[in-house]
Chain A
Amino acid sequence: MKRILKNRLFWPVLALVALIVINTIARPSFISITVQGGQLYGPLIDILRNSAPLMLVALGMTIVIATRGIDLSVGAVMAVSGAVALTIIEGSSDPNGLGTVLVAIVVGVLVALVLGVWNGFLVAVVGIQPIIATLVLMLAGRGIALLITGGFITTINSEPYKFMAQGYVLGLPFALYVSMAAVVVVALLERRTALGVLTEAVGINPEASRLAGVRSRGIIWGAYAASGLLAGLAGILYSSNIMAADANAAGLYIELDAILAVVLGGTSLMGGKFSLAGTVVGVFTIQTLKSTITFLGVPPAVSPLFLAIVVVIVVLVQSPRLRSVLARASQALRPRNSSPQGGSEVAS
C-alpha cells in the first residue's frame, strides 16, 4: 500500500478515476460503450478521440518543460500546420487523392517543425528566455496562418483527410492510434536512448550538465523542434476534425491545457524529472473534465470557473506540501481526541 502511495502516478490516476466515478454517479450512461457497425461509441471513446490533439501537444510540452523551458506557441503552430495542409488540398486538382493528402500532411508538419526549430534557435542559441522566445511565435503564428489562408477560413472536402480525425480502424478512432503512436515513439526515444536522462540532467542543473560535457544546446533545441513537430501533427488532427483551417480558433488556449496536463501528470515546471505516463494521465484528466462540463450540463458561462475550481482541487490533492501539512495536522489532533478518526485521506 505504501509503495502504491509513493508511486508518482498514484495521485494523478486517483484524480482521473475520481472524475470518472463522479460522472458515472451523475449519469450512469457515462461509462456505457455501444457498438455500431463494428465501431465503438460512447462518452469514454469520445474522450479518447478528442484528446488526441492535446495529447500530441502535451507530449512535446513535457519535453520542453523538462529542459526548464515552456512553449507558448503550440496553438499558433497548430493553426499554421492546418492552414498549410488545407491550402495545399484546396489548391490541388485531386482533393480526394491519397497522395495529395499525404503531401499536405507532410508539408504541414514540416512547416511546424521549422517553427519549432526557430523557437529552439531563439532559446538554445540566442539565449532568450523560453517564455518570451515562444511568445513571439504565439502572437505571430496566427498571423502567418491567416496569411497562408488569405484571411479566410479555408474549408475542404477530402475523404482521406477527414479520416485523420474522424475515421475508425478496428473499431477505434484513428486519431487515438495517432496519439498513442506518438506516445510510444516519444517514450522510446526518451527512455530507450539516453535522451531522457540527458534532458533531465539539463533541466535539473544546466551548468553542471554543461561542465559534465552534455551538449545541452542540442538537447534544448531538439525539445522545441519536437514540440513544434507534434503541435503540427495536432494541427492536422484539429483541422481534419472540423475540415476547416480556422487561423483564429485552431488550438486556441491549448498551450494552457497542455501545461496543465503536464503539471497534473506530476512533472514540475521547474524542469528536470518528467513523466510521460503522467502527462498521458493528465491529458485524459483534462479531456474528461471538459466532457464533464458538457455532460453535466454546466452552463457555458460558468464552465471556465468550474474548470478552474476542479483544477485547483486536483492540484491541491497532488501537492506534497498540503498532504504533509494535513498529515501533521491530523497527527497533532490525535492526542487530544482519544478516539482516532480513521484514515485522514483527503480526496476531491
Chain B
Amino acid sequence: MTAAPAQPAIVEMRGITIQFPGVKALDGVDFVLRSGEVHTLMGENGAGKSTLIKALTGVYPIDGGTITVAGEQRVFRGTADAQAAGISTVYQEVNLCTNLSVGENVMLGHEVRRAGLIDWKATHREAARHLTNLGLDIDTRSALSTHSIAIQQLVAISRAMVGEARVLVLDEPTSSLDRSEVEQLFAVMRDVRDRGVAILFVTHFLDQVYEISDRLTVLRNGMLVGEYPAAELPRGELISLMIGRELDELDALSRSAAREIDRDAAPVLEASDLGRKGVLEPADVSVYDGEVVGFAGLLGSGRTELARLLYGADRADSGSTQVRGTPARITTPRHAIDQRIAFSSEDRRAEGIIGDLSVAENIVLGIQAKRGWLRKVGRAEQAALVDEYIAALGVRPADPNRLIKNLSGGNQQKVLLARWLATAPQLIILDEPTRGIDVGAKADIQRKVAELAAQGMSVVFISSELEEVLRLAHRVVVMRDRRKIGELTSHDIEVGDLVDFIADGALESPENVA
C-alpha cells in the first residue's frame, strides 16, 4: 500500500448531486482521487458508482457540487472536456475501433506526422514503444478485433497513456476476464500507478479489490458512506458498509429458504439437452413446485442464454422440454406463456419496460397480451389490479398514471414483476431482477421471491451476486463458459465454495451432480 496521504489530490469532487426523474442518483457525494493510487469505488448495484464515474468523465452534467482537477475547477460539458482535463476511461465494453489495427487504436489522434501526412511506420513504432512500456508484446499491425477483450482493454489503457492521462478510470474491466488476464491487467495497472497516474477502479470481485486497491470509497443509495485505506478495512466490515441494513433483514429470509422441496412429483418444468449452437451447450434443468432454482455464473457464462431458451425467447436447436411430465414445445414466448411460464429479462430497459406507457398499462400488458386484443381489461378491473400490485410490491411513487420510464430502476423492476404475477404463472424466470436498483427495492424483491416460492410458485433466479443466489435458492445451477458445470443444493454452500466452483469448475463435495 504505497500511496501516502501526502500525495496531492488530482481530482476533488465535492457535494456532487445528480438528479434523475424520480430518483436522486447521487446526493452530495465527496470523492477525492490522488496521484499514484488505485482507488476503488465500492457499492452495490444502484449505489451510484457508475453515475459518479459518468459525472467525472463528463457523460452526465452534474446538478450540484464542484469538480476540481489539478487545482482547477472544471465544468464538463461532455466527454471531450473530461479528456482534455486528462481523464481517460476504459469501459467494460471496450470503446475502441475493433476494425482498425492495434497500432492505429493506440495512436488514434496522436499519429506521427511528417509534412502533414501520417508516417505510419513511425506511428507503429511509437505504438509499439507505448505497448512495451506496459510490458505488452503485441503486433501493432494486427487488427484489434483478433485479440481478446483482455488485450483490447490493455490496448485501451495504452491509448490512454499516449494521451498523457492523469486519471485513468477503469469501470469493471475485469468482469469478463479470466484469472491470468486479470493478473496481466493488474500488473499494467500497478505500473501505470507507479508513474503517478491516479486510477479509479470499479469491480464486483472482492478479492480483486483487496489485491489492487490502495484506498476505497464506499457508496450506498447515492450517498457517500466513507473513504478508507484498503489495508485498514476488513472484508466483513466492507460488505456491511456496502449493504447496510440489508444483512439483518435477509437473515430471516435465508431461513425460510431452507424449506424442504418435494422432488417426487413431476417437475413444473424439465428440460433435457436444451441447447443452441454457439450459444449454449446442451444442459438439463428441472424446477419443482415451490422451488427457487438459482443460476450462478459470471456474465456470459450461459446463465441468461439458458433462461432464454427455457422461455422460448430464443429458439433451442436441441433438446426437449416437459411441463409437469407432459412434453411441451416451447419455441416462442407465447408457448411459454400458454404454459404459465413467465420471464423477466436482465435488460430492463430494452426488453422489459414499455417506456412511454404508464405504470398501469405496463402492469396490465401481460394479462392483456394473454387475453388478446378483443377482450380488453376493463377500467375497473385494471384499477383494482394495478392498485393491488402497487401496494403489494410497494411501487413508489404509487401513481398508476406515471410513465414507467420516469420511475427508478427498482420500481420499474417491481412493475415488471407485477406484470407477470398478474398473469398467475406457475414458474417465473427472473434474470437479474435486482441489478442496478436501490437497496430497499432489492430487499423488497428478494422478500417477494421468497414469499412467492413459499406459496408454491416456482422461481428461476439469476443474479451475478452469488450471496443473493445462495440466500434465495434451494438449488443452484452453476454455469461457466456457456456450459452447465454442475448443480448444488444450497443449504450448506458458502459463497467462497461457489466462487471456487465457478473458477475451477470442480468441487470436492459429493453434491456435485454434474
Contact = CB atoms under 8 A, between A and B. Distances in A.
Is B one of A's binding partners? Answer: yes
A197 B313 contact: no
A197 B368 contact: yes
A54 B354 CA distance: 31
Given A193-B374, A193-B376, A198-B368, A213 B333 contact: yes
Interface string B361-387: 100011011111111110000000000
A322 to B, nearest CB: 21
Most buried by A among B343, B353, B365, B373: B373
Nearest to A207: B351
B356 interface: yes
Given A211-B333, A213-B337, A197 B369 contact: no
Contacts of A207: 350-351
B373 A193 contact: yes
B345 interface: yes
Range of interface residues on A (Cβ < 8 Å): 20 to 34
B413 to A, nearest CB: 13
Interface string A205-221: 10111111111000100
Given A194-B373, A194-B377, A210-B333, A204 B365 contact: no
Contact of B369 (A205, A212, A272): A212
Range of interface residues on B (Cβ < 8 Å): 20 to 34
B419 interface: yes
B345 A194 contact: no
A292 to B, nearest CB: 34
Interface in B311-364: 311, 313, 333-334, 337, 343, 345, 350-357, 361
B375 A194 contact: yes
B167 to A, nearest CB: 32
B343 A219 contact: no
Interface in A189-203: 192-195, 197-198, 200-201
A219 B373 contact: yes
Contacts of B352: 208, 211
A68 interface: no
A213 B369 contact: yes
Most buried by B among A193, A205, A211: A211
A215 B334 contact: yes
**Interface residues of chain A: helix, strand, loop or mixed (majority):** helix
B498 to A, nearest CB: 29
B357 A200 contact: yes
Interface string A47-73: 000000000000000000000000000
A162 interface: no
Contacts of B337: 213
A215 B372 CA distance: 8
A272 B128 CA distance: 51
Nearest to B374: A193
Contacts, number: 76
B354 A213 contact: no
Contacts of A213: 333-334, 337, 366, 369-370
A194 B376 contact: yes
Interface in B106-120: none
A211 B420 CA distance: 11
B345 A211 contact: yes
B373 A195 contact: yes
Contacts of A195: 373
Contact of A215 (B350, B369, B375): B369
B376 A200 contact: no
A209 B354 CA distance: 8
A219 B374 CA distance: 12
A37 to B, nearest CB: 45
Given A213-B334, A213-B369, A197 B357 contact: yes
A321 to B, nearest CB: 17
Contacts of A198: 365, 368-369, 373
A142 interface: no
Contacts of B366: 212-213
Given A197-B368, A198-B369, A205 B375 contact: no
B376 A205 contact: no
16 contacts: A192-B376, A194-B373, A194-B375, A197-B368, A198-B369, A198-B373, A201-B354, A201-B357, A204-B354, A205-B350, A208-B353, A208-B354, A210-B333, A211-B333, A212-B333, A213-B333
Interface of A: 192-195, 197-198, 200-201, 204-205, 207-215, 219, 272-273
Smallest CB-CB A-B distances: 8 pairs: A213-B369, A194-B376, A213-B337, A214-B369, A195-B373, A194-B373, A201-B354, A204-B356
Interface of B: 311, 313, 333-334, 337, 343, 345, 350-357, 361, 365-366, 368-377, 419
